[in-house]
Amino acid sequence: MTDQDSARRPKYQRIADELRDAIRSGDFAPGDRLPGENDLMATYEVARMTARQALSVLRTEGLAEARKGAGVFVRVFRPLRRRGIPRLAGEHWGGGRSVWSADVEDRDLVVDRIEVGEAEAGARVAEALDLPPGAPVCVRSRRFVLDDRPVLLSVSYLPADLVRGTRIAERDTGPGGTYARLAELGRRPVRFREEIRCRMPTAEESERLALELGTPVVLIDRTAFTETGTAVELNEMTLDSSSYVLEYDFGA
């Protein structure tokens, strides 16, 4: 970008550029407090709205976060690395571990909201599970919180006739989770298909994930299949994109 091009950019963007460069160069380290609105107003001789917009740019980009009553700080970014292939390995959940434990390492992941019930399958769920529209499905809805921050919403759908009366239809599915219980029912998942999309969140998603304004979400739809090719679960996941790195490691 030439100096002339830079001069044409709105002043709040030029201020954001300078702060961003300072963050990337290490002048502001993770956890450091950034100059506040009053500081930016004095340094750059701008109005409060311009200073506020500059800080908002950094928050939208995930470089900074606001702390109520304290100011805006450089974000301490320790991404949750979602290892798409090893987390679904049969020896992992078959050994009594949750698929989520492959992602969190030594960090504190909590499921703080669990709802389990039955509903009628909508067109999309019915198609994924090869069920008649309106067929009963078990619905497991959960919110995952990492280091006191919501990072993931997950809703699983399973044929109700298959799992009714089992631990899958309870809040606590037991060691190894849903897939271990399906294996006990003779419906062991041996193949998975994931579809990944990205979009801006709905108002409800923003609230439930406590997202910063402008943060998109990653949508992952995973279908689990048995050895005979029967679909036994559709899991719709909504991820805070600023909290995740999606990792896929496989041979050529």
Q: Could you give the CA distance from residue 76 to residue 19 in angstroms, rounded to a whole number?
A: 16
Q: What is the pLDDT of residues 113-164, one digit of tens each?
A: 899 999 999 999 999 999 999 999 999 999 999 888 899 999 999 999 999 9
Q: Which pLDDT value is given to residue 212? A: 79
3-74 is a CATH 1.10.357.10 domain: no
Other Cβ atoms less than 10 A from the Cβ of 107: the count is 10
- Residue 190's pLDDT band, with cuts at 50, 70 and 90, is very high
Contact 100, 109 (CB under 8 A): yes
List, for residues 29-56, the tens digit of each pLDDT value: 989 999 999 999 999 999 999 999 999 9
Q: How far is CA 135 from the centre of its chain?
A: 29
Residue 60: count other Cβ atoms within 10 Å of its Cβ.
Answer: 15
Class of domain 80-247: alpha beta
**Domain limits, CATH 1.10.10.10, in the chain:** 3-74
DSSP reduced 3-state for 204? helix
Which band of pLDDT confidence, cut at 50, 70 and 90, is reported for residue 99? low
| Residue 237 structure tokens | 């996941």
Task: Answer whether residue 97 shows pLDDT above 90.
Answer: no
Q: pTM for the whole thing?
A: 0.76
Q: What is the mean pLDDT of residues 193-210?
A: 94
110 pLDDT above the threshold of 90? no
Note the pLDDT of residue 172: 93
Residues of the chain with CATH 3.40.1410.10: 80-247
